[in-house]
Structure 1
Amino acid sequence: MNEAADGSRSDRRGPIRPLRLLSLRARITIGSTAIAAIVILLLVLVMRFQVVSVVASASRTLLDADADPYVATLEVDSDPDLSPPGNAQLVAVVSPSGEIRLSTMPKRVEQALGSLTTTPAGTSVIRVSGSEYRVVVEHPVNQAGRWTVVAARNSQAEAIVVDDLTTTLSLTGVAILVAFGVASWILATAALRPVNRMRREAERLSAAPERAELPVGPAQDELASLATTLNAFLARTRQATERERQMVSDASHELRTPLAILTTQLDLAALDADDAAALAAHIERAKHSVARLSRLANDLLALSRIEESERREQDGDQRPETAWSDLGDEVMAAVDRVRLIASAKDITVDFDLEPPVAVGGAGPGTGGGTVEPRYRIDTGGMAQLVTNIAGNAVAALPRGGGIFVSWRSTGDEGVLQITDDGPGVPESFIPVAFDRFTRPDEARKSRPNPDPSTGAVTVPGGSGLGLAIVRAVAERAGGTAGLRNVPSGGLEVTVRLPEVR
């Protein structure tokens, strides 16, 4: 049963499948020519029907004209003197007694006149000896009785006219169909020429992917729209590929140094295996190297997830939207987590939340409440902003320093601002601060050993990705990130997030 069903489906698909193997130009030509053939065939049939109708009507008119003089004579004369018609007209007159008074009919037709005397007046078609005749029968009445007047024409002449016209129409239709097929081929070739250019350009992309673009024609048609869409897709793909290539290159470079250091530390530990104090020191330093590698891997994973989210949003995924108060709650939670790290250096972390001013309704803020502003960022993104910025500050500050975190709504944007009272950064570092794997000089770097002058404790070295993550999160939300040195001392990092309208 299944094999029979599969065979039946294959038979049904049989006539269609070979067409799929043809070129698009051939399929367009065949399809348009087939439609034109159907239309021409219908037109020929309709015209043939019309011609048959017109010829039959003309024949009836001529037959009426042949019979009318005799009908008129018989209606007024009981014993008329009938003369034969001219022009090879076929007319017969039969008296009330059945006598044929006049006849120009062929003998085989005269033999059928007896049956026509009883036929109602009108037009009909009779077949005599294999030939068809169209006849008009009239029954004039006078004092002598009911006469019969018959006018006839051979239908073969009508058939010849109709057949000749049908042949002419068919030949004309075939010529038109051939011309239409050629025109369809030429037009399809011209219409698909931009597609062929796009195909050749696409083949060239492998040789020069960073420069090549698909050609966009001057016409504002579907092909131009397709080329524009594909160019935008290629641009996004090239950007993503370049980012990934750059990340792999940077990550390889950044991983090389800590891995080499870790290898050296482990080798030294093996050499000092008999010295417990030296072995413990080597292991402790190895732990710091592993911690730096772990932080680098986590930061790379965070950046990869952010970029993947951006690609999904470009493909149509809905962006997250979070209310101001929910983000404020996450700021407080993130500050608490930063305080746990900062407590090792006696660094104070304070925060301030300034709710938006409300103008009515129900919601947070002063003035009675309204629908609170929302931002295109989730609580996880806000946590990354606070922990990365404040975490960098903790690593750079000396013992006893301070960090201040504020989250407020200003105008049509939310502003996250984190300020510390540390040494700041060199002015030359500010333009590249948010680039990947960039770090300031030793003034902002964590140190592998305690600093006697400041009391800074040993913490794992930074990955150089913290501020890059901050910028990626901010830009994904449609905002910006910037930093500046505070004139009184310290560094101020500001993230601005636009409200969702």
Structure 2
Amino acid sequence: MKSLSRLSIRARITMGTLLLAALFFGAVGLVVRQQVEGLMQNAAFEVLQSDAAQFETAIEQEPNEPRDNPGEGQLVAVFDPAGTSQVSTLPAAITSNLALINRASTGPQQLVAGEATYLVAVETVPTGAGNWTIISARNQQESDLVLNNLTTGVTLGLGALTLLFGAASWLLTGAALRPVTQLRRSAEAIVAAGADDLLPVGPAQDEITGLAATLNRLIETLRASAARERQLVSDASHELRTPLAVLQAHLELLRAGDRSSIDSDILGAERATTRLSDLVESLLELSRLDAGCPTTSATDFGALVDEAGEAIDRARLRAMGEDVEIELITPENADRAVPTPMPALLYGRVLDNLLSNALRAVDGKGRITATIRQEPSHIITVITDTGPGIEPDFLPHAFDRFSREENVRGTANGSGLGLAIVAAAAESVNGTVTLENSATSGLVVRLSIPVPLERPAPLQDHP
């Protein structure tokens, strides 16, 4: 089997065709030989019956008269009721083996006498004096020779047909696989040249065209993924460069020994370290979401409500001392046992990012409202603020990684990863998140999480 798997598809299909053709034509040849052999034996038996017919007629008409000798080439023996041979042209080889002949049989019999095989027919003629027996025979040498020649001819003819089928299969398979070979060569050329071309798609609506279209979509997806990865690495490097440079500068000042600014240097280094930590944590969170690895198992609606309350408390703590009102609205008499695919911890991180963006938007004064609704098929979370909103031109890019709307909504100090994490978290549970400017002022963020029909099985925790 391993040796066959190393062969090309063309060779394997051709070998399979040859095998099937050989089996089919072999069966056809065997059936033809058996049919011809049966026809020849029936024809020979009818000749033997014809040889015995004249003697049968003579016995019936004149049972006591001497019998005429058989014609030339006829092998016939006539036995009277007493078993005495009245007429016989049988060769000695048959005469010495008469005991092997079943005289009660009415069908053809084969008798091997010496080196020859004879077809024998027995006719019984009843008379008033008893039963006469007529034995006629014919040498099968000529019939066997004809049958063997026929078998040889049929074998050669069917063998030629089998080879013709193999050749046709080889040519047709090659023609069918030629577009695949062209696709492979085109792919090799694209890889070698590093070009942005796609595989050629033929006009025919067949499997090869479908394969080419699917591969083109795969190529486009892989190129887009590679481009995103390159952009992510570039953006991450750019984002990490600033806090690292700040941290290095403060460390150099500390080493210089300027005691008057030691507190400010330590504070600046601490802020740079915090920014680095937030960036790394955000990148790790995005990496886990891209890999489809939730941080905890799925939970229920009650756990999401509890987590939302804790997120609101964390936001209020960050807004302490500012004129910002933060409110959480949850449904009354809700079914807390309704399952949800989003883990509570991930939901809390989503709310932390949305509330942090809203806090930067209101810039120390305003109102933030988080509303959670339970619908039959979805759990809806809406975050609104009284900030300045988002420029319409920036809305389509708001969920892009490291995208920031400078000098608007106070986002200049953000990493540009918060909304990207929110979008990735929603996508990981087949949910959606949308942004739109309020009719009055501020931004409206709507997070929709689908409710599964059945409670999902718990997932294994990932570190």
TM-score strictly above 0.5: yes
Shift of 1:29: 0.6
1:212 to 193, 198, 205: 198
Q: Which residue of 2 aligns with 1:394?
A: 359
Please say which of residues 108-117 and 31-40 is displaced more in the overlay.
108-117
Normalising by structure 2, we get a TM-score of: 0.84
Q: Which residue of 2 aligns with 1:28?
A: 13
Q: Which residue of 1 aligns with 2:348?
A: 383
- 1:75 to 2:75 alignment: no
Question: One-letter code of the match for 2:347?
Answer: M
State how far apart, in whole Å, the 2-side matches of 1:480 and 1:209 are.
Answer: 36
- 1:305 to 2:288 alignment: yes
Query: Secondary structure at 2:291's aligned position in 1?
Result: helix
State how far apart, in whole Å, the 1-side matches of 2:83 and 2:382 are.
Answer: 125
- Tell whether the 8 Å contact from 1:482 to 1:495 is kept in structure 2 after alignment: yes
Question: One-letter code of the match for 1:165?
Answer: L
State how far apart, in whole Å, the 1-side matches of 2:197 and 2:349 are.
Answer: 36
Question: One-letter code of the match for 1:83?
Answer: D
Question: One-letter code of the match for 1:480?
Answer: V
Question: One-letter code of the match for 1:419?
Answer: T
Matches within 5 A, 1:279-290: 279-290=262-273
Matches within 5 A, 1:94-243: 94-96=79-81, 100-106=85-91, 108-109=92-93, 111-112=95-96, 115=99, 119-120=103-104, 122=106, 123-142=108-127, 145-206=130-191, 207-208=193-194, 210-213=196-199, 215=201, 218-221=204-207, 223=208, 226-243=211-228
Q: Which residue of 2 aligns with 1:6?
A: none
- Tell whether the 8 Å contact from 2:342 to 2:449 is kept in structure 1 after alignment: no
Please say which of residues 249-258 and 322-331 is displaced more in the overlay.
322-331
Can you list the C-alpha shifts for 1:101-126, whole angstroms capped at 9, x where unaligned? 333444x2574386489944544333
Q: Does the C-alpha gap of structure 1 residues 349 and 141 become closer, same or farther in structure 2, counting only changes over 3 Å? A: closer
Query: Secondary structure at 1:343's aligned position in 2?
Result: coil
Matches within 5 A, 1:33-52: 33-52=18-37
Q: Where does the alignment leave 5 or more consecutive residues of structure 2 unmatched?
A: 454-463
Please say which of residues 171-180 and 466-475 is displaced more in the overlay.
466-475
Query: Secondary structure at 1:408's aligned position in 2?
Result: strand
Normalising by structure 1, we get a TM-score of: 0.78
Q: Does the C-alpha gap of structure 1 residues 116 and 138 become closer, same or farther in structure 2, counting only changes over 3 Å? A: farther
CA RMSD between the two structures:
3.4
State how far apart, in whole Å, the 1-side matches of 2:76 and 2:42 are.
Answer: 19
State how far apart, in whole Å, the 2-side matches of 1:497 and 1:104 are.
Answer: 108
State how far apart, in whole Å, the 2-side matches of 1:167 and 1:114 are.
Answer: 34
State how many pairs are aligned: 448
State how far apart, in whole Å, the 2-side matches of 1:115 and 1:436 are.
Answer: 105
Query: Secondary structure at 2:223's aligned position in 1?
Result: helix
- 1:495 to 2:446 alignment: yes
Can you list the C-alpha shifts for 1:278-308, whole angstroms capped at 9, x where unaligned? 1221111111111111111112222222222
1:277 to 260, 272, 293: 260
- Tell whether the 8 Å contact from 1:216 to 1:228 is kept in structure 2 after alignment: no
Q: Which residue of 2 aligns with 1:482?
A: 435
- Tell whether the 8 Å contact from 1:117 to 1:148 is kept in structure 2 after alignment: no
Q: Does the C-alpha gap of structure 1 residues 128 and 408 become closer, same or farther in structure 2, counting only changes over 3 Å? A: closer
Query: Secondary structure at 2:230's aligned position in 1?
Result: helix
Can you list the C-alpha shifts for 1:15-38, whole angstroms capped at 9, x where unaligned? x44333322211111121012112
Matches within 5 A, 1:244-259: 244-259=229-244
State how far apart, in whole Å, the 1-side matches of 2:68 and 2:321 are.
Answer: 141
Q: Does the C-alpha gap of structure 1 residues 466 and 103 become closer, same or farther in structure 2, counting only changes over 3 Å? A: same
Query: Secondary structure at 1:435's aligned position in 2?
Result: coil
Q: Does the C-alpha gap of structure 1 residues 276 and 378 become closer, same or farther in structure 2, counting only changes over 3 Å? A: same
State how far apart, in whole Å, the 1-side matches of 2:102 and 2:340 are.
Answer: 100
Q: Does the C-alpha gap of structure 1 residues 422 and 166 become closer, same or farther in structure 2, counting only changes over 3 Å? A: closer
Query: Secondary structure at 1:102's aligned position in 2?
Result: strand
Q: Does the C-alpha gap of structure 1 residues 225 and 324 become closer, same or farther in structure 2, counting only changes over 3 Å? A: farther
Please say which of residues 295-304 and 178-187 is displaced more in the overlay.
295-304
Q: Does the C-alpha gap of structure 1 residues 86 and 352 become closer, same or farther in structure 2, counting only changes over 3 Å? A: same
State how far apart, in whole Å, the 2-side matches of 1:32 and 1:117 are.
Answer: 49
Query: Secondary structure at 1:285's aligned position in 2?
Result: helix
State how far apart, in whole Å, the 2-side matches of 1:33 and 1:183 are.
Answer: 10
Q: Does the C-alpha gap of structure 1 residues 128 and 374 become closer, same or farther in structure 2, counting only changes over 3 Å? A: closer
Can you list the C-alpha shifts for 1:446-475, whole angstroms capped at 9, x where unaligned? 89xxxxxxxxxxxxx421221222233344
Please say which of residues 190-199 and 203-212 is displaced more in the overlay.
203-212
Q: Does the C-alpha gap of structure 1 residues 440 and 93 become closer, same or farther in structure 2, counting only changes over 3 Å? A: closer
State how far apart, in whole Å, the 2-side matches of 1:419 and 1:121 are.
Answer: 108
Q: Where does the alignment leave 5 or more consecutive residues of structure 1 unmatched?
A: 1-15, 314-319, 356-363, 448-460
Please say which of residues 236-245 and 400-409 is displaced more in the overlay.
400-409
Question: One-letter code of the match for 1:302?
Answer: E
- Tell whether the 8 Å contact from 2:422 to 2:433 is kept in structure 1 after alignment: no
Q: Which residue of 2 aligns with 1:295?
A: 278
Shift of 1:397: 4.2
State how far apart, in whole Å, the 2-side matches of 1:128 and 1:350 are.
Answer: 116
